[in-house]
Amino acid sequence: MSQQLLNEADLPEDFRQSMSHYQSESASFRMNVALSCLPRFTAHPEYGPHHSSGIILSPSLQWMDQAYRDAIDQGMAKRPIVEMLIPSTVDDTLAPEGCHVASLFCQHFRRELPGGVQWDEAQKQTAVASIFQVIEAFAPGFKQSILGYAAHSPLDLERDFSLIGGDIFHGKMSLSQLWAARPLLGWGAYRMPLAGLYLCGSGAHPGGGVSGLPGRNAARQILGDRQAIPSFLSRAFNLRRQS
């Protein structure tokens, strides 16, 4: 935003310098999958409320840690963390009767692959295969139920949705970019350097996760600032009358 939508000459020097080091590296791999039936999970093979919940396929912290380390070393996890949502279980208009659609949010994958390798169709298919393999391990028969799918690499997310670095969180969720330091230290109160400009998305505290909190907090800040102006003018007017 600071580089493409704003005139840099209007921004403070410290803000420009800090923003030049801002990191957008929380990349992910997204998929939409059409299914002929609901997946049956080995942990709970019956159909039930869990199919309408967020299903995270990652059995341990060690699994998560290894997925992260794989992405650092190789650009993508060998055994990704897969979060599955099946929205057709709560809205049957999304798929024909008996069929379903699943949304897959998969980590960890990097926008920049090692060795200068680019995200092409071959790299995407490697990622897709690893994702389906993970799901198949927890829900045997999943692969056979696939009718079709759309896959979005970090590069696709950047190119198609303007998510820099393929980062759906609008900035790396690291300690250096959280709390009062989101997006930057000294600029964590939703106000941006230009008067009337506020940050209200995932790049503001508390970050990504579809909580709605960045927007709510920004709105409260805006309302507070608007109320402060008449209050200040009223106090100034009263002081003038008293003098």
- CA separation for the pair 26, 6 (Å, rounded): 24
Same domain, 59 and 141: yes
Among 166, 200, 224, where does a domain finish?
Answer: 166
Same domain, 140 and 73: yes
Same domain, 36 and 137: yes
| Neighbour count for residue 81 (Cβ, 10 Å) | 20
* pLDDT mean across residues, the chain: 89
Same domain, 193 and 118: no
Q: Check pLDDT > 90 for residue 220.
A: yes
Domain total of the chain: 2
Same domain, 49 and 64: yes
Same domain, 187 and 130: no
Note the pLDDT tens digit of each residue in 101-141: 999 999 999 998 998 898 999 999 999 999 999 999 999 99
Among 117, 137, 166, where does a domain finish?
Answer: 166
| Neighbour count for residue 148 (Cβ, 10 Å) | 9
| Tokens of residue 18, six digits | 């800090």
pLDDT band at residue 210 using 50, 70 and 90 as cut-offs: confident
Among 134, 166, 198, where does a domain finish?
Answer: 166
Same domain, 77 and 112: yes
Same domain, 162 and 179: no
Same domain, 92 and 142: yes
Quickly list DSSP for 31-90. Answer: EEEEESS---BTTB-S-SGGGGS-EEE---HHHHHHHHHHHHHHSEEEEEEEEEE-GGGT
pLDDT band at residue 165 using 50, 70 and 90 as cut-offs: confident
Same domain, 117 and 213: no
| Residue-level length of the chain | 243
pLDDT of residue 234: 54
Rounded to an integer, the average pLDDT of 218-226 is: 91
Same domain, 56 and 161: yes
Containing structural domain, residue 79: 27-166
Measured over the CA atoms of residue 211, residue 217, residue 220 and residue 226, the dihedral's sign is negative
Same domain, 178 and 152: no
**pTM for the full predicted model:** 0.82
Highest-scoring range by mean pLDDT, 48-62, 159-173, 208-222: 48-62
Note the pLDDT tens digit of each residue in 89-108: 999 999 999 999 999 999 99
Q: Check pLDDT > 90 for residue 156.
A: yes
